[in-house]
Amino acid sequence: MTETMVTTGTTTGSGGSRVLGAVTLLGLATLLLFAFGLTEPDVRLHPTTGEEIGQFDAVRLLYLHVPLAVFTYVAFVLCAVASAGYLVRRTPWFDTMAHAAAEVGTVFCGLVLVTGSIWGRPVWNTWWEWGDVRLMTTLVLFLMFAGYLALRRATVDPRAAALRGAVVALVAVLDLPLVNRSVEWWENRTLHQKSTLGELKIQDLTLFTLMLGFLVFGLVLAWLLLHRFRVGWLEREDAELGVATAIAERRAAIDGGDVDAAVGEDA
Amino acid sequence: MVELNAAVALLGRFPALTGVDLRIEAGETVLLQGPNGAGKTTLLRLCAGLLVPESGTVTVLGYDLAAGPERRAVRRRVALLGHSTGLYEDLTVAENVRFWARAGGLDVEPSVERVVGALQRLGLDDGLLDLPVHRLSAGQRRRTSLAALVVRRPELWLLDEPHAGLDQAGRKVVDELIGDAVAAGGTVVVSSHELERVRLLSPRVVTLAGGTVHRDTSS
Amino acid sequence: MSRFLADARLVAAKDLRIEARSRVVLNQVAPFALLVLVLFGFALDADQRTLRAFAPGLFWVAVLLCALLAIQRSVSVEQADGALSGLRLSGMSPAALFVGKASAVFVQLVVLEVLLTAGIIVLYGSEVDQPLLVFATGLLAAVAVACTGTLYGALASGLGVRETLLPILLLPVLAPVLIGATRAFDDALGSAAVDGWSWLGLLAVFAVVATAGGALAFGALVEE
């Protein structure tokens, strides 16, 4: 597993990952073209008054927001699984993967919140809506994993960092359904449900763009994960190399005369 | 009793032990000496099951310390006296000794007689029994934490500079304590700079340097 | 099992005895609790009707803030002069250590909750319509917070940045407790038409998971 994922020393790029990167960029460009150019804004006629209603141009953000949301959860689930794997197996692969998934997931999560907020302003007439289930859950999720990253950065000992991180990640993921449930029972203001994908005319081009969005962000996740994992792996190898060197240096530096002087056996 | 093979221990990224080969039989008395930073404290903590060996093997009292549960099991049969006293400032001397003895595996609440006996053994006046630890001098605290170990009667003693911070009378007491432990058949490993005092016990002398065994009088 | 309970009781008694001697929670955290209630009064324009309506939420925010202090104190007691090393060295079961420390924090939280309840009655004019609900909520929430907090206290311990890290780690995870306990108090204090008892189910689940999960995780953590 490790041999196929790591490259030699200095770069995290490889033949395969460069192809992936190129395809991803191309896909991203295509997606943006479709989302912001070729698709139509959401304009519908009100059934009784006949005036134009709908999300208009804001709907374009959904092509980004919805896939981002889905892959945020994919990334965090991956982190949780890798964390559990680490707790059971204690191998560095699981730990590096957990850290990489958490970092990419947190970035995605932040983007979900931002795109959602920008989308919400024209559509719901507010930047933020308390009591909306998905919004609150995603916010708490973001905060929990921001804490995870802070903890890992603050812990110096790598083994401790891996262990603590794994526990925090698992607790966060287990806590999430409780957060979701509690917000759901709390308020019935679910703006999210009022305007789901179901209300939009999702067919033909919009459907295609949405599917394209899923594909592209899946590729983006894969590419980011790959590189972040490799960076983490190289960091770890570098640290280990550092330790081996330090051991050799320490042993080589032992001076018998100094030792004798220190223990009073020089006379 | 204690066996290390190519044991490496890390403190963060720093290799405190760079490969230690050592074998100590039951009932032996070992003086661990070496320059500052040689790894003496780390070695003692490793043998007490407080550190995870990075590589190599560490076997103490039959427990392989690579595994977590084994490390935990060995701790109750070993007494480590470290640099810190591990005492709770707000509790009294007696409360501390009782707590640490019980925490360390003593099944029954140690009787007052036993606690007093241990304190007297260490030259502490039993008027100190009900004094909160923060009122004690450094030397008295050291003796209190030693008393907590004495109450437990461990099989393996790991003493990290036991004389430090004690006056002459205190140092004599520690010598007597070590002597008693040795006479009772216990295994004692003492790390110390008080070489003359410990050498009076005719111990085996292991010199540590740069994280590894530099010299060993037994070989 | 008896060893486990004996060890847990030993640690809990030790922590409570230290608190009895040093009176940190009593002399420092309790006044802080009342101070928070007063600050809310200043911030929300001191109209008792408003305060009374918000009392449940303000109460639980105050409890969480105090819990942070109580947990920090619980952790720092062990930092004194290698006591934590000593506890690991004792070979005590980490789960027992967890239960012991969490129990001590639980007791302290209950005391703080009682104090804060008196506080909101006096300062905000709250009325306890359903004392049983208040009691049950207080206990369950205290268990949930004490156990989760003790686990996170250990997670953040030994780092120079513990004081700043603990809040951001712990508080998001406790969101369901805050929401649930506040709703239950809304009912119990008569400030909103909510079925408080149904929220107790959520709190109970959280409390159970926190206790079991914390005990398990503590084992993995203390082994470092």
Domain extents in chain C: 2-223
CA distance C42 to B28: 71
C203: closest CA of chain A, how far (Å): 10
Highest-confidence segment of A8-17, A193-202, C58-67: C58-67
Q: Which of A245-259, C13-27, C54-68 has the lowest mean pLDDT?
A: A245-259
B147: closest CA of chain A, how far (Å): 29
Predicted local confidence at residue A8, as pLDDT: 47
Highest-confidence segment of A188-192, A195-199, B89-93: B89-93
Chain C touching partners, 3 or more CB pairs below 8 A: A, B
Predicted local confidence at residue C160, as pLDDT: 73
Amino acid at B128: L
Predicted local confidence at residue C58, as pLDDT: 93
Predicted local confidence at residue C223, as pLDDT: 67
Q: Provide the number of structural domains found in chain A.
A: 1
Q: Is A41 exposed, middle or buried (0-12, 13-18, 19+ CB in 10 A)?
A: exposed
Is residue A254, in this structure, part of any structural domain at all?
no
Predicted local confidence at residue A3, as pLDDT: 42
Say if the Cβ atoms of B13 and A243 lie within 8 Å. Answer: yes
A125: closest CA of chain B, how far (Å): 52
Search chain C and give the residue with CA nearest A145.
C169
Amino acid at C189: L
Tokens of B56: 């190599």
Q: What are phi and psi of B216, to 5 degrees?
A: -145, 115
Tell me: pLDDT of A195 over 80. Answer: no
Say if the Cβ atoms of C10 and B90 lie within 8 Å. Answer: no
C35-63 pLDDT per residue, tens: 999 999 888 876 778 888 889 999 999 99
State the CB neighbour count (10 A cutoff) for residue C55. 28
Chain A touching partners, 3 or more CB pairs below 8 A: B, C
Is residue A24, in this structure, part of any structural domain at all?
no
Predicted local confidence at residue A84, as pLDDT: 95
C103-112 pLDDT per residue, tens: 999 999 999 9
Is residue A105, in this structure, part of any structural domain at all?
yes
Is residue A258, in this structure, part of any structural domain at all?
no
The packing angle between helices A158-186 and A92-124, to 10°, is 30
- C:46-105 residues touching chain B, CB 8 A cutoff: 77, 80-83, 85-93
Say if the Cβ atoms of B35 and A246 lie within 8 Å. Answer: no
Contacts of residue A191, defined as CB under 8 A and 6 or more positions apart, other chains included, come to: A120, A124, A129, A132
Tokens of A267: 């006379």
**DSSP-derived secondary structure letter, B135:** G
* Confidence class for position A189, pLDDT limits 50, 70, 90: very low
Find chain B residues with C-beta within 8 A of A256's C-beta.
214
B205: closest CA of chain C, how far (Å): 26
Question: What mean pLDDT do residues A202-216 have?
Answer: 83
* Confidence class for position C224, pLDDT limits 50, 70, 90: low
Question: Does this complex have an ipTM over 0.85?
Answer: yes
Which of A235, A247, A254, A266 is most worth mutating to test chain B (most B CB atoms within 10 A of its CB)? A247
Tell me: pLDDT of C25 over 60. Answer: yes
Shortest CB distance from B88 goes to which of C83, C91, C223? C83
Predicted local confidence at residue C207, as pLDDT: 95
Tokens of A88: 């059971």
Say if the Cβ atoms of C172 and A143 lie within 8 Å. Answer: yes
Highest-confidence segment of A125-129, A246-250, C80-84: A246-250
Contact C221, A163 (CB under 8 A): yes
Predicted local confidence at residue B140, as pLDDT: 85
- C:126-185 residues touching chain B, CB 8 A cutoff: none
Predicted local confidence at residue B102, as pLDDT: 82
Q: Which DSSP helix (H) or strand (E) runs through A180?
A: helix A158-186
Domain, as residue range, for A149: 63-200+214-239
Q: Which DSSP helix (H) or strand (E) runs through A193?
A: helix A191-194
**DSSP-derived secondary structure letter, C82:** G
CA distance A36 to A60: 6
Q: What is the CA radius of gyration of chain B?
A: 17
- pTM for the model stands at 0.86
The packing angle between helices C131-155 and A158-186, to 10°, is 160
CA-closest candidate to residue A56, choices A67, A40, A37: A40
Find chain A residues with C-beta within 8 A of B210's C-beta.
250-251, 253-254
* Confidence class for position A192, pLDDT limits 50, 70, 90: low
Question: What mean pLDDT do residues B37-55 have?
Answer: 88
C211-222 pLDDT per residue, tens: 999 998 887 787
Tell me: pLDDT of B58 over 70. Answer: yes
Contact B178, B194 (CB under 8 A): no
Shortest CB distance from C175 goes to which of A155, A159, A179? A179
Amino acid at A7: T
A160 in B contact zone (CB under 8 Å): no
